[in-house]
């Protein structure tokens, strides 16, 4: 008897928005300054983006589970399917 073993690579994608707050005190402490005005705007934006990226790893699992339930974002990668013939 012949059996075909098919391996289908997939990616499960969901998308959503999350809000993350950084206080002025956190910013001042990070930059070691007394006023936001002392911070280069480009450096401030870079810092805020990095903080937001880091915070994305702390999104509550229940939020992710809800997105998965709602969006069902399974995407197969058809070009990468592997088929093997197994003889029993």
The reported pTM is: 0.62
User: 8 with 76: CB under 8 angstroms?
Assistant: yes
Please give, one letter per residue, the 3-state secondary structure of the chain.
CEEEEEECCEEECCCCCCCCCCCHHHHHHHHCCCCHHHCCHHHHHHHHHHHHHHHHHHCCHHHHHHHHHHHCCEEECHHHCEEEEEEC
Q: Per residue of the chain (88 residues), what is the pLDDT tens digit?
A: 888 889 888 888 888 888 888 999 999 999 999 999 999 999 999 999 999 999 888 888 898 888 888 888 777 788 888 888 877 7
Per-domain boundaries in the chain:
1-18+59-88, 19-57
């Amino acid at each position: 008897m012949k059996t075909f073993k098919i391996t289908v690579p997939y990616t499960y994608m969901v998308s959503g928005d999350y809000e993350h707050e950084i206080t002025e005190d956190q910013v001042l402490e990070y930059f070691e300054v007394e006023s936001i005005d002392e911070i280069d705007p480009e450096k401030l934006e870079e810092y805020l983006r990095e903080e937001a990226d880091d915070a994305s790893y702390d999104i509550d699992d229940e939020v992710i589970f809800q997105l998965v339930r709602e969006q069902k974002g399974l995407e197969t990668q058809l070009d990468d399917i592997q088929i093997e013939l197994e003889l029993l």
